[in-house]
Amino acid sequence: MKTLPLLSLIFALAAPAAADMESPGSVYRGALRSWLAGRPDDAIEGFKYAAFMSSGTPLSLSAMRDAAVLLAEAGKPQEAVAWLSRAEIASEDDPYINYEKGWDFLALEKHAEARRTLERTLTLTADPDLLAHTRFALAMAEEGLRGPSEAIERYRGVYQSYPYLLVPAAVRISRNFELLKKRQHSVTFLKEALLYDPRNLQAAIDLARVYEKAEYFVPAWQTYYTLSEIDPEERFFSARKEKLARHTKGNHQNLLYWTRLAWPVHTVPVKLDKGEEADIALFADKKGVPSTVRSFSFICNTPFTIEDSRLGRTAEGPGGAQWSAAYNPFNRIYEVKDTAANPVYSTRNTFRIVPRTPGGVILLKSADLAAAGGVNRGDREITGELLVNLREDGFVLIDRAPLENVLPAMTARASAGDRNPESLKALSVVFRTRLRGLKASMRHSRDGFHLCDSDHCQPFDGINTETAEAADAAAATRGEILSGAGLLAAGEYTPSCGGSTESGISDLNPLPAELTPFSLSRHMHKGPPDAMHCLPPDKAYASEASWTLILEPRWIEDRANREHRIGRLRNIRTLARTPTGKVEAIRLEGTAGSAEIKGFGAISEILAAGTLRSPLFTLRPLFDGRFPSAFFVKGLGTGEGRGYCVAGGKGLAGGLGWKYRAILRHYFPSLTVTGGSAEKR
């Protein structure tokens, strides 16, 4: 009886604290905000606390699953397993809990436990996406249990039946054939992987290595050359390229994939548009910096003149003759020579090459570039006039041309073989808007030109790459642009949005209504719905929409240590995300320190030398002892998901028969088409 006053006092003192305590729901929502804001450790603690406070409720189950996903990403698979085991008590037959546990056991190198857990997953679901991913994970477990032969058979089942894992399955099959020293088989599957996902950097690295081991020296050299172009600062690629070059005979440039044109594709002048012009820097790198050109050859399909910036017209040449221009380092003179290699013009002034007939086409051939890599070195045709600006030890080449004349080639390149007139018209309007916006932005005003020919502005490989369909689409929409916003914003585009754009436009694969670590992971493991607008007819080529990478830490570590000196890589953490789940920052954790990388461009450079398809991805480590052996990356879309979806426009036009203005309204509901023929309708 004497204890009653004491108990009453305790409850009375506790009452205010209980009243001030946050509800489990608010704690959970706070954890979600921490996750999106780039504080994953705070989010983990918040999910744990929410699970504890709401024990036995659906909220507790959600919090435990979310905590487990983030713990796996944090490189704490043992702790993730513990939380998933608690979640399993609340939802014993949840196949996704078992699937996640299977991956955590793989990360811990507990292959027997992984196999047992994943085999249980197969009995709990009929979902074809989850079944395929589970069988893929089972094949990884078999690599550690029964060796490459059994693993290959497991992977083959996935490779043959599930297109969204075809590429990673082919890469793993190749790895295991390599272990069996069946290198020809290994090469075959790697080439297959690159056929269906040309941006799979890891597959290209593996292919170069296997080619060299098999003593296929020429293709090994070609592949290492390609890799050195993608990642010019990677010394290993450059060293292998130089060593293997000794095994190749003849002109090395003829053994590469650059476009080589013996003669102009356009044998007569094109119709030169009288509208807005732009100066386009040629042979630019991914940062928009044009390479110095030490020498080049050119053929004009009409007679031409050379106009010196100080002296005026100084030389004339005939149509159809190959001339050359070069910097002579001995006397520091810039020389132009005729077909017989006779000097016809020497200068230290900037000059222009101008076709005498408007619309004359100039073929630029065999440009010798100072850039180490990362530049399209192919031959290309231009119209308008060629500005040859002098730089130390060479030239910078600039094409001064009407925007309407370069538009079809840019549209054709971005459309990836599309021939549908309506989707090409829509893309033409977007690109015309974009080009005007790029020129108006003055981003290269200090450099002496308006835009460049690389991804930094808009890729342009020459008017020789235009198609008749793209030219017709540009002509049909001549002068039309998107209005109602800034030109650059209205001209934003992405190759494939993966089902929804950053502004919330649905292409029938929207993100979960409530975005959480677990719901995002689950969404990434689902194949795109068949009706998704940006899904290609042949799902084997679906890597633009849905992709999977297995990245080796070594190459990421090399790229990171060039600037950040992190030492040996311990883990990669995804940090801030947009409300649509796109990664805005990652943290590299190493033995010598950590580094935070912000922005998709920088993230793509670190993870995949600029080849990462999109910022919408999840990433989890697998370990070999204390250090990661691989990073398993699941992603959706190609590009940053803003504005017009090129693949989606193709699907709307081809699959549903939409007209181009309806397609534009779909992706830009607040904008209108103005200018050109649009104002007459």
Is residue 373 very low, low, confident or very high in pLDDT (cuts 50, 70, 90)? confident
User: Beta-carbon neighbour count of residue 242 at 10 Å?
Assistant: 13
pLDDT of 256 reads: 72
- Average pLDDT of the chain, as a whole number: 93
Same domain assignment for residues 164 and 311: no
Place 19 in a pLDDT band, splitting at 50, 70 and 90.
Answer: very low
Name the 3-class secondary structure at 602: helix
Q: What is the pLDDT of residues 119-165, one digit of tens each?
A: 999 999 999 999 999 999 999 999 999 999 999 999 999 999 999 99
Residue 22 — pLDDT band, cuts 50, 70, 90? Answer: confident
**Residues 230 and 311 reside in one and the same domain:** no
Predicted TM-score (pTM) above 0.85 = yes
Q: Does residue 361 share a domain with residue 401?
A: yes
State both tokens at 168: 């990673």
**Contact (CB, 8 A) for 566 and 66:** no
**What is the reported pLDDT for 92?**
86
Task: Clarify whether residues 299 and 441 are in a common domain.
Answer: yes
d(C-alpha 197, C-alpha 496), whole Å = 14
Residues 533 and 480 in one domain: no
Give phi and psi for 300, each to the nearest 5.
-105, 135
Q: pLDDT by residue (tens digit) across 81-125?
A: 999 999 999 998 999 999 999 999 999 999 999 999 999 999 999
201 token code pair: 């950097």
Mean pLDDT of 492-507: 95
Distance (Å, rounded) from C-alpha 433 to C-alpha 668? 13
Using pLDDT thresholds of 50, 70 and 90, give the confidence band for residue 678.
low
| The pLDDT value given to residue 18 | 40
Task: Round to whole Å and give the CA distance between 66 and 24.
Answer: 14
Residue 10 lies in a domain: no
Inform me whether the pLDDT recorded for 438 exceeds 70.
Answer: yes
Report yes or no on 665 lying in a domain. Answer: no
Is 45 in the same domain as 97? yes
Q: Any bridge partners for residue 385, and if so which?
A: 400
Q: Are 488 and 558 in contact (CB under 8 A)?
A: no
Residue 291 sits at φ, ψ, to 5 deg, of -70, 145
Is 220 within the bounds of a domain? yes
**590: pLDDT confidence band, cut at 50, 70 and 90?**
very high
Distance in angstroms (rounded) separating the CA atoms of residues 330 and 639: 46
Compute and round to an integer the Cα radius of gyration of the chain: 29
Give the span between the Cα atoms of 605 and 387, in whole angstroms: 32
- pLDDT for the residue numbered 257: 75
Residue 42 has pLDDT above 60, yes or no: yes
Same domain, 236 and 292: no
CA distance 273 to 408: 12
CB burial string 205-221: b at 16+ within 10 A, e below: bbbbbbbbebebbebbb
Q: Which domain, by its residues, includes 365?
A: 277-487
Residue in the structure block whose two tokens are 């549209």: 411
Yes or no: say if 351 and 388 are a contact pair by the CB < 8 Å rule.
yes
- Check residue 514 and give its pLDDT: 94
For residues 67-83, one letter each, b for 16 or more C-beta atoms within 10 angstroms of the residue's C-beta and e for the rest, the string is bbbbbbbbbbbebbbbb
Residue 15 lies in a domain: no
Range scoring the smallest mean pLDDT among 253-262, 401-410, 487-496, 553-562 = 253-262
Return the closest-CA partner of residue 431 out of 488, 475, 486, 485.
488
At 8, the pLDDT band (50, 70, 90 cuts) reads: very low
| Model pLDDT, residue 663 | 98
In a domain, residue 254? The reply is no
Q: Tell whether 376 is covered by a domain.
A: yes
User: How many domains does the chain fold into?
Assistant: 3
The CATH number given to whatever domain includes residue 34 is: 1.25.40.10
Residues 415 and 523 in one domain: no
Q: Are 126 and 96 in contact (CB under 8 A)?
A: no
Torsion, CA 579, CA 54, CA 78, CA 636, rounded to 10: -20
Q: 471 and 525 share a domain?
A: no
Decide which of 247, 265, 285 is a domain's last residue.
247
Nearest to 199, CA basis, from 646, 597, 544, 586: 544
Q: Note whether 527 and 476 are same-domain residues.
A: no
> Rounded to whole angstroms, how far apart are CA atoms 574 and 128?
28
C-alpha closest to that of 173 among 134, 206, 130, 218: 206
Judge whether residue 1 has pLDDT over 50. no
Residues 531 and 469 in one domain: no
Q: How far apart (Å, rounded) are the C-alpha atoms in residues 464 and 81? A: 57
pLDDT band, residue 679 (cuts 50/70/90): low
Neighbour-count burial for 268-290, b at 16+ CB within 10 Å, e otherwise: ebbebbeeebbbbbbbbbeebbb
Percent of the chain exceeding pLDDT 70 equals: 95
pLDDT of 255 strictly over 70: no
Same domain assignment for residues 40 and 163:
yes
Q: Does any domain span residue 462? A: yes
Do the domain assignments include residue 672? Answer: no
In percent, how much of the chain has pLDDT > 90? 90
Task: Give the position of tokens 């677990």.
Answer: 518
Instruction: Kindly state the tokens that stand for 496.
Output: 């494939």
pLDDT in the model for residue 248: 77
Identify which of 75, 68, 156, 143 has the alpha carbon closest to the alpha carbon of residue 112: 143
Residue partners of 209: CB distance under 8 A and separation at least 6: none
Using CA atoms, how far residue 124 sits from 92, 131, 136, in Å, is 10, 10, 16
pLDDT of residue 101: 97
Question: How far is the C-alpha of 590 from the C-alpha of 567, rounded, in Å?
Answer: 5
Helix, strand, coil in percent for the chain, rounding step 5: 45, 20, 35
Are the C-beta atoms of residues 597 and 586 closer than 8 Å to each other? yes
